[in-house]
C-alpha cells in the first residue's frame, strides 16, 4: 500500500491517496479502515485506488470471507464510500487481473483513467508531506498498535 498526499480527492488543502494492491482480507480491511478514519475523524478527503489484486475487492459477484469485525471487504468498502470516500479501480487490472468489467463492480466504484491516477501520484509537492505533518496531530489512541504497524510511508520517486 502506498500513501500519498494529493490534489486528487477534492479541493481542500489536505488529501490522501491510498494505493491498495492486495485483496488479502486483513491488509485490505486495514487500509480501508485507516482511510475511513482519516476521512471521518480528520475530515481529510480520501481517494482509494484499487489495482493489481486489489480490484477483486470491488467485484460484486464473488462471495467472500468476513473480517474479524464481522463485515466483508465489500461492506467495509461500501461504508467508506457512504461516508464520502472515493474508490477508483485500474481498468487494465480490472480486466487482466480480475477478469472484471464495469458491470461487475459494486455500486459507487469508478473505473479510473491513467491520467487521473498519474496526476495524483506524481504531484509536484513531496508525495507524502501532508500525511507526515498530520500524523503528528494524531493522539496515541487514535489507532491501535496493530493499525500503526500495518502502514509504512515511503516517498514515491
The CATH number of residue 11's host domain is: 3.40.1260.10
User: What φ, ψ does residue 20 adopt, rounded to 5°?
Assistant: -110, 110
How many domains are contained in the chain?
A: 1
At 113 the pLDDT is 78
> Domain for residue 75, yes or no?
yes
> Domain for residue 157, yes or no?
no
Query: Does residue 6 carry a pLDDT above 50?
Result: no
> Domain for residue 156, yes or no?
no
Angle of helix 73-82 relative to helix 25-41, nearest 10 degrees, comes to: 20
> Domain for residue 100, yes or no?
yes
> Domain for residue 155, yes or no?
no
- Mean pLDDT across the stretch 124-143? 45
Poorest-confidence range of 8-12, 34-38, 49-53? 8-12
> Domain for residue 142, yes or no?
yes
Query: Does residue 58 carry a pLDDT above 70?
Result: yes
> Domain for residue 17, yes or no?
yes
- Give me the domain span that covers residue 77: 2-150
Query: Does residue 121 carry a pLDDT above 70?
Result: no
Between 102 and 5, name the one with better pLDDT.
102
- Mean pLDDT across the stretch 56-82? 92
Indicate the pTM of the whole model.
0.69
The answer for 30, left when phi > 0, alpha when psi is -120 to 50, beta otherwise, is alpha
> Domain for residue 33, yes or no?
yes
Query: Does residue 151 carry a pLDDT above 80?
Result: no
Amino acid at each position: 500500500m502506498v500513501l500519498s498526499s494529493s490534489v486528487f480527492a477534492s479541493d481542500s488543502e489536505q488529501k490522501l491517496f491510498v494505493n491498495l494492491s492486495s485483496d488479502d482480507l486483513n491488509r485490505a480491511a486495514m487500509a480501508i479502515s485507516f482511510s475511513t478514519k482519516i476521512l471521518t475523524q480528520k475530515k481529510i478527503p480520501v481517494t482509494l485506488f484499487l489495482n493489481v489484486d486489489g480490484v477483486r475487492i470491488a467485484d460484486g459477484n464473488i462471495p467472500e470471507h468476513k473480517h474479524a469485525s464481522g463485515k466483508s471487504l465489500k461492506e467495509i468498502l461500501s461504508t467508506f464510500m457512504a461516508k464520502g470516500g472515493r474508490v477508483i479501480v485500474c481498468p487494465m487490472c480490472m480486466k487482466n487481473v480480475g477478469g472484471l468489467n464495469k458491470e461487475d463492480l459494486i455500486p459507487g466504484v469508478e473505473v479510473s483513467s491513467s491520467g487521473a491516477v498519474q496526476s495524483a501520484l506524481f504531484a509536484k509537492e513531496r508525495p507524502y508531506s501532508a500525511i507526515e505533518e498530520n500524523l503528528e496531530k494524531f493522539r496515541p489512541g487514535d489507532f491501535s498498535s496493530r493499525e500503526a504497524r500495518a502502514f509504512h510511508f515511503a516517498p514515491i520517486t
